[in-house]
Structure 1
Amino acid sequence: MTKSQTTRRGAILGAAGVAAASIGFVRPAMAAVQDQKKLVTLIATLQIADGKADAAKKYFRLLTEAVEKNEPGTLAYVAHTYRDDPGKVIFFEVYNGQDALKKHKPGAYDLGMSAEGLFDGKVKVEFLERITGYIRGEEESLKKQKKDAQADN
């Protein structure tokens, strides 16, 4: 396993398995996306500055509320902290294609400017490729879409 694969695997396991707290949302529409290959999935890692945990969590809540309200193409946007390192944050993000990701970037940048001093260092972004797995409701949602399409014809 390369260093990049190890880092990516650790980040995914960290986001999925050892999270102590999370803030964010996953839209039910994520299961209804017919072409799962067009989804853009990433993790963004950052470090909360010492003494800024409460302010950072408040910022994350405002950020996720703004993204959920204004970016329907953002299908999942969830921040996690590690149990053994609560200052380390991983965002798990899923976008309904490149256009949705492009729409997200300016808003994230604008809100990021208001978070000055809350974080140490830069945000590290890693893009992921789906190998296997499921989204609960995905199969049922696709069957319903096909049935509805047949009924319309």
Structure 2
Amino acid sequence: MSSQPLHLVAIATLQDGKLQGALDAIKTLTEEAHKNEPGLLRYFCFTTKNEQGQDQVIFVEKYSDEEVHKVHHATAHFQAFG
């Protein structure tokens, strides 16, 4: 395992009409992650549209190491989002 910080960018392309529901779920996910994941150093998102005009959510994440990222994916709030 690496003890180096892990930086990630994740892109989610949404189905038409799903942006507000996704943002509501992301708000809960982000609040829980910041509150309950001590190795989470940065976690935010923004919205854009791709070349086809579809809504996208871009996540920018930074974890203290790879293990913290694995723990993030195992949390109840991430599983509920996924």
Q: Which has the larger radius of gyration?
A: 1
TM range (shorter): 0.7 to 0.9
Amino acid at match of 1:99: E
Which residue of 2 is the match for residue 44 of structure 1? Answer: 10
Question: How far does residue 75 in structure 1 lie from its aligned partner after superposition?
Answer: 0.6
Q: Which runs of 4+ in 1 moved over 4 A?
A: 83-86
Q: Structure 1 residue aligned with 2:63, among 95, 109, 123?
A: 95
Higher RCO structure, 1 or 2 (CA under 8 Å, sep 6+): 2
- The structure that is strand-richer by fraction is 2
Q: How many residues align?
A: 76
Measure the CA separation in 1 of the matches of 2:42 and 2:9: 11
Percent identity between the aligned chains? 32
Match of 1:106 among 70, 74, 79: 74
More helix by share: 1
Aligned CA-pair RMSD: 1.9
For 2:54 and 2:15, locate their aligned partners in 1 and report how far apart those are by CA, in whole Å: 11
Q: Where in structure 2 are there 5+ consecutive unaligned residues?
A: none
- 1:54-85 C-alpha deviation (Å, 9 max, x unpaired): 11110110010110111011110111112675
State the distance in 2 between where 1:47 and 1:90 align.
9
TM-score, normalising length from structure 2?
0.80
Q: Within 5 Å, which residues of 2 pair with 1:3-152?
A: 38-82=4-48, 85=53, 87-107=55-75, 108=78, 110-113=79-82
> So what's the TM-score if we normalise by structure 1?
0.45
Partner secondary structure for residue 103 of structure 1:
helix
